[in-house]
Amino acid sequence: MQDVARPAKGKIALLILLIGGITFLHFLVPTNQHALHIIHIVLRKLYFLPPVIGAAWFGLRGAVYVTLAISILFSFHAILDWPENYMEQANQGGELVSFWVAGLVAGQLFERERSLLKDLVRAHEETLLGLVSALDMKEHSTHLHSQRVRQNTLLLADKFGLDEARKRAIGFGALMHDVGKIAVPDAILLKPDPLTDEEQKVMRNHPSAGYDIVKKIGFLREAAEIVYAHHERFDGCGYLRGLKGGDIPFGARLFAVVDVYDALTSARPYHTPVSHEEALAEIRKESGRHFDPEVVKAFLAISPQELGAD
């Protein structure tokens, strides 16, 4: 989970530097000359920035912590620089209250925005799930295939400590991987017999068709790359572009292992399901050829219970 922690730590460090810089300059600039006093007052107004930034980055809790730190530093200044000037202390006390108002109001607003965005993402996800489930039922007579591969791809992504935004994109890519089959005629898609060379050509174009559909949706652009590359092989013998090794998007390399595992352990018209151990043996055999060896290593560390194996 290091990738998740780094951005937060970086933001905290920037906030500390900003607060420290404002405080240092505020304490440093004297007030015994009119021009310097004006600069001193301007610096004092900069204390409004950290609570708002803390709210934007960390929500209401961040706003409270940052405003508390600002309040302590600001109070020290009011007492030390204006020990007997009660009018000035009262004036700065008013500003102190204003810091809290700015921080708490901003924190509430950003919390509300985050909540609305989460609801919107959930609504998008449910809509996509409904559409993909309909396609699954048409091809596999079950709506669970896309959900399983998405869930297990995210489980595998956890082993690499990916941040939430990247995991979300990978999850959508796994969910939408076969959406291009909408463009495949039913006579080919549902054909129980082996496909002809011409039919194979039509079927193999579904990653491109899926990519064209998904890339038009703004929040799915990264997921579209996974849709486009989900039939590539680590050795470069996949399709459509013959990508090899690290040229294949990482999410597609994760998905490839999960998709084959699900295909092997699920009942399909062309084969009966194999056991968890047999599926793992096949995945080991294809390490370095079909699959990224590092991804295979991480997948083998996942327990059968986590994968939902019987």
| CA angle (215, 247, 239) in 5-degree steps | 70
| CA angle (246, 247, 249) in 5-degree steps | 85
| Whole-number Å distance between alpha carbons of 95 and 238 | 65
Q: How confident is the model at residue 64 (pLDDT cuts 50, 70, 90)?
A: very high
Beta-carbon contacts of 101 under 8 Å, excluding residues fewer than 6 positions away, are none
Question: DSSP labels for 136-168?
Answer: HHHHHS-S-HHHHHHHHHHHHHHTTT--HHHHH
Q: Flag the least confident range among 57-66, 89-98, 211-220, 256-265.
A: 89-98
pLDDT (average), residues 49-70: 92
Span 232-241, pLDDT tens digits:
999 999 999 9
pTM, entire model: 0.67
| pLDDT beyond 90 at 189 | no
Residue type, 69: A
Whether residue 206 contacts residue 183, with contact meaning beta carbons closer than 8 Å, is answered with yes
| Whole-number Å distance between alpha carbons of 221 and 203 | 23
| pLDDT beyond 60 at 5 | no
pLDDT (average), residues 198-225: 92
* pLDDT for residue 3: 45
Q: How confident is the model at residue 86 (pLDDT cuts 50, 70, 90)?
A: low
Span 121-154, pLDDT tens digits:
788 777 777 777 777 777 665 557 888 999 999 9
Q: Which residues of 37-57 are buried (b: 16+ CB within 10 A; e: fewer)?
A: eeebeebbeebbbbbbbbbbb
Whether residue 62 contacts residue 107, with contact meaning beta carbons closer than 8 Å, is answered with yes
| Whole-number Å distance between alpha carbons of 296 and 114 | 36
Beta-carbon contacts of 56 under 8 Å, excluding residues fewer than 6 positions away, are 106, 110
pLDDT (average), residues 193-219: 92
| Whole-number Å distance between alpha carbons of 143 and 138 | 9
